[in-house]
A and B are shown apart, each in its own frame.
Chain A
């Protein structure tokens, strides 16, 4: 049996340091009460599970008070700069000028990347403002994590046009397979509801150096996203790439 699986089944702490490509902080959400959502407690939880670093975005993604949400993020990322890598929230309902000004403000305060989530803001994933954000990010070589890039054609169009961006698909789907496999700068987060057998299929069909574990904390339970990887029948070597090495590479090379 895989050593990682064996340890996980015994609820033992993993020796490998985890890197999380998709997480949220902020403490409050419309959909449910966020239990132990204070940043200090989240850091304690990261310690408990041996999570070295996480890419974090505001939890309140709907766009309400998005400057305030980003301000909270900036403060937490400064406070826990060794653990949290901040990606600022963009509200696509606002004019391009306002969006650009807010990203610049966040960038000046140490934020490394951009988070897009058009559908939660009643916007189209493929709206021209998404392209505006890509144009901006390309200029400053900022990574973008998008909840949904709309469709593979749109993502590929952006990838070809704006080559200095690291594109992160925020939620797993096989629809991104070809774009991830064909380009160096497209990364795929594992976070999503997964049907039976998905992890093994994922690893067989998608380049293993671009599959990155995302917990989606403090939205989702750590076990919901870690369990399928650690209990799967893929090798420990690939498990370590997914839960640790790939995101570590992304952060160290492109989130500086």
Chain B
């Protein structure tokens, strides 16, 4: 089984991690049978997307299996002069998705919606990854702003919205409803560790809306990979969750 990871980082984080460089990440990926990864930079996640995104592109430009993910601040935030031009340049540089970690910057997720930040992403149908987890948090559970995510899914029904977090426990009751009701809502199964949760989520839409994130360099990747490998679902669905679904979203945009 090969995997396509939607969530891994490089760079020097505020807490020491097992690796920092893209070459090291590639070695780890090989060890875990992860063929491709969507990668963000530590600076984008913890300090400044503007600076981190720029460094990321330079750092991984020679590695085709590492696909850049840009951290995203809202339009008109004062960080970027011409937002549309910035996004267009990112796409030219090979960026395939954008990461919104709104809690890091103490910005409500709804502001991304009302500031029309997502308009241009919707135009290109570029997947948006929403992660409410704070960078310094050790154990942050059930943090999704579901009202805002609902509004985003409804306003942009063709924009792929991928939700990921450190851990979903109670909120799985909400996730189930979202998978049932929004065809553009995608869920990282690595976020929920509950008993037979993969089997249950697969039962809703045949696994079409499920993707996989490892949360490297923080988490042990075997945890999320194991949940797919161990699940009581068919091999073809395992492959879709492990690789096919995210590849399909990204290829569609090429």
Indicate if the CB atoms of A220 and B172 lie closer than 8 Å: no
Q: 12 A-B residue contacts at CB 8 Å?
A: A8-B226, A9-B229, A35-B194, A35-B196, A45-B196, A197-B18, A218-B196, A223-B227, A223-B229, A225-B223, A227-B222, A231-B222
From residue 1 to 52 of chain B, which have CB atoms closer than 8 A to chain A?
1, 17-18, 31-33
Bound-state CA distance A225–B197 (Å) is: 14
On chain A, the residues within 8 Å of B18 by CB distance are 196-197
Q: How far is the CB of B142 from chain A (nearest CB, A)?
A: 9
Q: Is A230 located at the chain interface by the 8 A CB criterion?
A: yes
Expressed in whole angstroms, the Cα–Cα distance for A220 and B1 within the complex equals 23
**Contact surface of A with B, Cβ cutoff 8 Å:** 8-11, 31-37, 45, 48-49, 193-199, 217-233
Give the Cβ gap from B212 to chain A, nearest Cβ, in Å. 11
Q: What's the Cα separation between A214 and B240 when bound, in Å? A: 29
CB atoms of A33 and B230 under 8 A apart: no
Which residue of chain A has the shortest Cβ distance to B176 in the bound complex?
Answer: A33
Docked-complex contact A9 and B199, CB < 8 angstroms: no
Contact of A221 (CB < 8 Å), options: B167, B196, B238: B196
Other 13 A-B pairs with CB < 8 A, given A194-B219, A223-B225, A232-B222: A11-B229, A36-B196, A36-B199, A49-B230, A196-B218, A196-B220, A221-B198, A221-B226, A223-B223, A225-B226, A227-B224, A227-B226, A230-B226
Distance of A218 Cα from B179 Cα, bound (Å): 23
Residue of B33, B200, B226 most packed against chain A (CB within 10 A): B226
* Most B C-beta atoms less than 10 A away, residue of A35, A217, A218: A35
Q: Hey, which chain A residues are within 8 Å of B31, CB to CB?
A: 233
Chain B contacts of A45 at CB under 8 A?
A: 196, 232
B66 within 8 A of A: no
* CB-defined contacts of B139 to chain A, threshold 8 Å: 193
CA distance A32 to B199 in the complex (A): 15
Assess the B194–A8 pair: CB atoms within 8 A. no
A residues less than 8 Å from B167 (CB atoms): 193
Nearest 6 Cβ contacts at the A-B interface: A227-B226, A223-B230, A223-B226, A228-B222, A227-B222, A223-B227
B216 close to A (CB within 8 Å): yes
Smallest CB separation, A224 vs chain B (Å): 4
CB distance from A239 to the nearest CB of B (A): 12
What CA separation (Å) do A37 and B200 show in the bound complex? 12
With A220-B193, A220-B194 already in contact, the answer to whether A195 and B218 are too (CB < 8 A) is yes
Range for the number of chain B residues in contact with chain A: 35 or more
Q: Which residues of B contact A195 (CB under 8 A)?
A: 218-220
A35 to B218 Cα, complex, angstroms: 28
Residues of B within 8 A of A36 (CB): 196, 199
B residues near A9, Cβ cutoff 8 Å: 1, 33, 229
CB atoms of A227 and B229 under 8 A apart: yes
A11 touches B195 (CB 8 A): no
C-alpha gap A198/B1 in the complex (Å) = 23
B106 close to A (CB within 8 Å): no
Quick one: which of B201-235 are within 8 Å of A by CB? 216-232, 235
- Kindly list chain A residues whose C-beta atoms are within 8 Å of the C-beta of B194: 32, 35, 219-221
Alpha-carbon gap, A85 to B217, bound state (A): 37
What is the bound-complex CA distance between A11 and B172, given in angstroms? 25
| A11 CB contacts on chain B under 8 angstroms | 1, 229-230, 235, 238
- Most central of A33, A227, A228, A233 by chain B CB within 10 Å: A227
For the complex, what is the distance from the CA of A197 to the CA of B33, rounded to whole Å?
16
